[in-house]
Structures are given as C-alpha cells and as structure tokens.
A and B are shown apart, each in its own frame.
Chain A
C-alpha cells in the first residue's frame, strides 16, 4: 500500500515536471501579457526580473520545486493572489458539479443499462440504445446550448410556468439577497442545467457499458443454474447478476470522477461558472505559469486519488481480489 502511494506521488512529480517543461516551451511569457502596449522593453525586462522569469529554466524549476516542497504554490501572475487561494475558490465549484453529476450518472445509467440487458432486443432496448448512442456522440457544449435555448429562452417565450424557466448564467442570481431555503432553491435552479448535461453524457456512457456487461453475465452458466433452482427473477438480477458486475462498476465509478471534473470545462465555459475549467483556460492563455502548475497539480491529484480509490475499493467488493 505504501509502495502504491509512493508510486503515485512520484508520478505526480513527473506529471508536474512535464507540465513545467511544456508551458516553458510555449512562445511568449507572462510578461508579454502583463505589460501595457505602451511599455518599453525596459519595463518588460523589469517585470520579468520581478517574476523571476529572467533566470534560466533550471533555476526556475529548482525554485518552483523547493517552494512546492514547502507547500508554497506561489503567487498567480494574472490574478494577483496566492495560487492556493485561487484554487481553493475554484475547486469546490468543479468538485460539487462533478460529484453531483457523478452520482446522477450512476443512479440513472446503471438501471437503464440493466433494463436494456434484461429486455434485450425489445422496443425499449432499441429506443434507449438509440438515445444513449446519440447523447454519447453529442458534444456537451452543444447540448448545453440546446438546453439553454429550450429552458431559458424557449420557456419564457412560450409562457411556461415560472418553475420551468431555468437560469443559464452563473451560480446564483446576481444582486439578489436570498437567505435560507430561498438561497438553496436559487442555487439548485442554477445548477440544474449544468448538472443535467454532465450527467446525461455520463449516464449514456455508463448505460452502454452496463448493458453489455450485464448481457454478458446473463448468458453465464451460474445464472442459468440460479434460474433452474427456482430463484425469483428479482433474486437472480440483484443477488447474482448485479453482484457480478458490481466490482467493475465501482472501479468505473472511481475512474469517472476525473473525466467529469475535466469535462466540466465546457459546461463552465457555457454557463460562466467560476470553476477549475475556467481558471485553467484563463491561466493558460495568460501564460500564468504558477496558476497552470497549481491547476495541473490538482487535476493530476484527482486522477491519482481516483486510481488509488479504485484499487482500494476493489478487494472490498470483490472477494476474489482479496489477498
């Protein structure tokens, strides 16, 4: 176990070093974006010196590495605040979005896939297969625009009741002083469209997976035996089939979180949510090296934690994997 954690930390270091090298290879540095157009070359040189960008890449790398070991992620060039506090503001937004969609993804996706596998070849199966394949093929930003068109503009234009009109911008109503239940309702209404889109795309993928893996299991001998000895269909599906596919689904659950957090980049872009995605895109375009490194570290940590969780969870749900 300690070896696994050590390996993960080593990998994290490697990821960050590769990212460090990649962004320094890019033409232009933060100083080109920070100086006003009227600035002279001397002004730019002064800013470079202030940020430490005039030193060699090896020195910059060593400085960054030493600071990181002390737990210091540095100061963002473009936001003029510590990277740690910028991340602390953005990460909860994306994590909440990712976690809510992840839960919905599995709550909707797994039963859909199981239903399809049980009713294989039926009209229900074909309809759901069509739907999931189309949603799986659709870009999330296009789905987002489509839902905004219907539920924000369309709902208002067609005179639908107020609760069906959903906001398409930001995380809460701007300027509104809401408290208690009203504030919660407001946040939920703002989250409804982004979460629905992320969950729909995720659930389509999970349903496709669950359908094929459950269909595989349904054809196995032990399922036939269970049926032959008179187990009720419900017992067969839950005790025998679900128990067999559960380990793979739990691993998939853990491994899906990074994809959802990264996938929220598009949803955050469309709905103007101040999460990790928007932070990352802005940091890269502004050549804000410390912020890019900090965001990359968070993303990599999420992936590695998800992998570790999957490894740890597997023996818990799958007796065959217990050492």
Chain B
C-alpha cells in the first residue's frame, strides 16, 4: 500500500506499539498497589485529573474514575481482556472458517451445499445484528463474547478457503500425491490446505482489530464484558456522562483502543501486501 520505506517504518511503529501495550497489560496490573476492581476511599480518590497525587501520596498518571480507581492500571487490565478477546476470537473464527471451508470444498455435494447455505444465511445479517442476537443467548461475559465472535466471524474465511481449496484441487501436484497413494485426508492436510491458507491468514490477522472493536462495542452497549471487570468498551461507557466533568475517564481507554486497532490494521495491511500477492487483490475487493 505505502512505499516500501514508509511501510517498514509504520511496521516498526505498529510492532513497538503492540509490544508496549502487551507488556504494559501484563506488567502494570501486577505492580499496582491499589485493587483495580475494588472500591476504596471513594470521596478522597474519585475523579482526580491526570498526573494528580492523591491524599495518600499515590501518583495517578491518567487520573482516577468515579470510584477512585486508578485509570492507568484499569486501562492496562482492560488491555489484557481486549487483546486476549481479539486474538483468541479472531484465531478461533479463522480456524473454524478454515475447517468448514476445506471440508466443504473437499467433500463437495450435499455437505458443501448445506455448509455454504448456512454461511450465506449468516452473512445475510449484518455481523453486528447477529452479534446482538447471539450475545443475548448466554450470561454476558468474557466467554460469551469470544463464542459469539467466533460464531459470527467464520463465514468470510470459510468462503475464501473453499474457493482456494477448489482452485488448488485442480493442480497437478494434488493428482500426483493421490497417484502416489496418499489418502484423501492426507492430501487435503499436507498438500491442498497449506497452499490454500494465504488469504485465510491475512483475513484472520485483519480480523483481530475488528474483533477488538466489536468486543468494545458490545461492552459499550452493556452486553459484553461486565463491570467491575474492565474492558475498554465498558470503561468508555462508564465515562460517557462524565465527558464534561472528567473527560479523561473516556478519553484514555478510547486512545488505547484506537492505538491497538491501528497497530493491528497496519500489520494486517503489510501482511496482505507481502504474503497474499494475488490473493491480496481479492481481499481488497472484500474489504
């Protein structure tokens, strides 16, 4: 997308940003003196502006929320949730899509028809609407959000892998492997699938940022991660009525969210441009 030099610089930037976020998300909550979920001395601690020191001498880099909890620590704790949900949700959706797509293409016939009909039907609802319907199924929480992201995110990858496997299937080396006596599952697993995965890998990488955004959206609407467990989405929701009195409460998690999704998008773009090659064009058309 960008010229080679610019793209290398933006990759370094994206990797440094994600690295810093991951390290911060792991390390910062471990060294926090205050319980980021519990509520302590609300009256003296609540809504301190960024950089303020509280009555006990503790420094709050990003200030505190309405319950006097340190925002920086909570933001990093929320980072654990959001990053994990994004990566796990997107990987599992990519995995499920790959399995479904490969099976549909390889077995064909009725299996193919049924699997693709289900995929088409699910694609006929906007993903957000499908997410809302599914999120109401179980108790809201971490596991529900991941399951729902997987259930609503596999169809695109499945269609892509199916098309790729069908293409690879016609290649001479697949016939050669079969002629040499390899079993059908082995030909699929060792020969066809590895040559059909490029677009799926790119789509899954680009899906991480999207999954993080969707998680934050569900949490913002109150059907995702539930307080007191912090997530960037529910932290923004918590700062919603404070945008005048204490804007930092909503600004900080928003910037963390944008930075993360931005880094994921930049890395996904690079991967698409470098690895996908031909497949990149079809991916761009879908984007």
A interface residue numbers (CB < 8 A to B):
11-12, 14-15, 18-19, 22-23, 25-27, 120-121, 126, 129, 133-134, 136-139, 141-142, 145-146, 148-149, 153, 205, 208-209, 211-213, 216, 248, 258-259, 261-263, 265-266, 269-270, 280-281, 284-285, 287, 292, 295-296, 299-300, 303-304
Q: With A26-B137, A213-B284 as given contacts, are A141 and B124 in contact (CB-CB < 8 Å)?
A: no
B209 x A137 contact (CB < 8 A): yes
The answer, among B257, B262, B285, for a CB contact under 8 Å with A248, is B285
A280 x B129 contact (CB < 8 A): yes
Q: With A212-B1, A303-B126 as given contacts, are A284 and B257 in contact (CB-CB < 8 Å)?
A: no
B59 to chain A, nearest CB (A): 26
A133 x B250 contact (CB < 8 A): no
B199 to chain A, nearest CB (A): 16
The complex places the Cα of A195 from the Cα of B117 at a distance, in Å, of: 35
Residues of A within 8 A of B285 (CB): 248
Please tell me which stretch of B31-39, B172-180, B212-220 contacts chain A, meaning at least 4 of its Cβ atoms lie within 8 angstroms of it: B212-220
B136 x A26 contact (CB < 8 A): yes
Q: With A145-B236, A145-B240, A145-B243 as given contacts, are A11 and B213 in contact (CB-CB < 8 Å)?
A: no
Closest B residue to A295 by beta carbon equals B129
The answer, among B120, B136, B216, for a CB contact under 8 Å with A285, is B136
The answer, among B118, B133, B250, for a CB contact under 8 Å with A23, is B133
Residues of A within 8 A of B239 (CB): 145
The answer, among B133, B223, B247, B257, for a CB contact under 8 Å with A22, is B133
- Contact string, B114-134, partner A, CB cutoff 8 A, digits 1/0? 000110111111111100111
A280 x B287 contact (CB < 8 A): no
Closest B residue to A168 by beta carbon equals B243
22 A-B residue pairs with Cβ-Cβ distance under 8 Å, sorted by A, are: A14-B118, A14-B120, A15-B125, A18-B122, A22-B133, A25-B137, A27-B138, A121-B3, A133-B265, A137-B261, A137-B262, A141-B217, A142-B258, A146-B254, A213-B284, A248-B285, A258-B126, A265-B128, A265-B132, A285-B136, A299-B126, A304-B124
The answer, among B1, B213, B243, for a CB contact under 8 Å with A139, is B213
Q: With A263-B128, A269-B221 as given contacts, are A209 and B213 in contact (CB-CB < 8 Å)?
A: no
Residues of B within 8 A of A153 (CB): 243-244
Q: With A14-B117, A137-B265, A248-B285 as given contacts, are A299 and B129 in contact (CB-CB < 8 Å)?
A: yes
- By secondary structure, the B interface counts as helix
B229 to chain A, nearest CB (A): 19
B276 to chain A, nearest CB (A): 13
Complex interface residues of chain B between 14 and 51 (CB less than 8 A to chain A):
none
In the complex, B2 has a CB within 8 A of chain A: yes
Residues of A within 8 A of B236 (CB): 139, 141-142, 145
A15 x B124 contact (CB < 8 A): yes
Residues of A within 8 A of B258 (CB): 134, 137-139, 142
A139 x B124 contact (CB < 8 A): no
The answer, among A22, A134, A142, for a CB contact under 8 Å with B134, is A22
A145 x B134 contact (CB < 8 A): no
In the complex, B6 has a CB within 8 A of chain A: yes
The complex places the Cα of A133 from the Cα of B127 at a distance, in Å, of: 22
The complex places the Cα of A281 from the Cα of B224 at a distance, in Å, of: 13
The answer, among B2, B125, B250, for a CB contact under 8 Å with A303, is B125
A139 x B2 contact (CB < 8 A): no
Q: With A137-B261, A138-B254 as given contacts, are A296 and B136 in contact (CB-CB < 8 Å)?
A: no
Residues of A within 8 A of B136 (CB): 23, 26, 284-285, 287
A15 x B121 contact (CB < 8 A): yes
The complex places the Cα of A153 from the Cα of B245 at a distance, in Å, of: 10
A305 to chain B, nearest CB (A): 11
Residues of B within 8 A of A129 (CB): 2
A95 to chain B, nearest CB (A): 14
- Contact string, B230-269, partner A, CB cutoff 8 A, digits 1/0? 0001001001100110010011001001100110011000
Give the top 4 A-B pairs by smallest Cβ distance, nearest first. Answer: A262-B126, A137-B261, A14-B121, A142-B254
The complex places the Cα of A14 from the Cα of B134 at a distance, in Å, of: 16
Given contacts A11-B121, A15-B122, A265-B129, 5 further A-B contacts (CB under 8 A): A15-B124, A23-B133, A139-B258, A145-B243, A281-B221
B132 x A284 contact (CB < 8 A): yes
Of listed B128, B244, B266, residue having the most chain A CB within 10 A: B128
Q: With A121-B3, A248-B285, A263-B128 as given contacts, are A149 and B247 in contact (CB-CB < 8 Å)?
A: yes
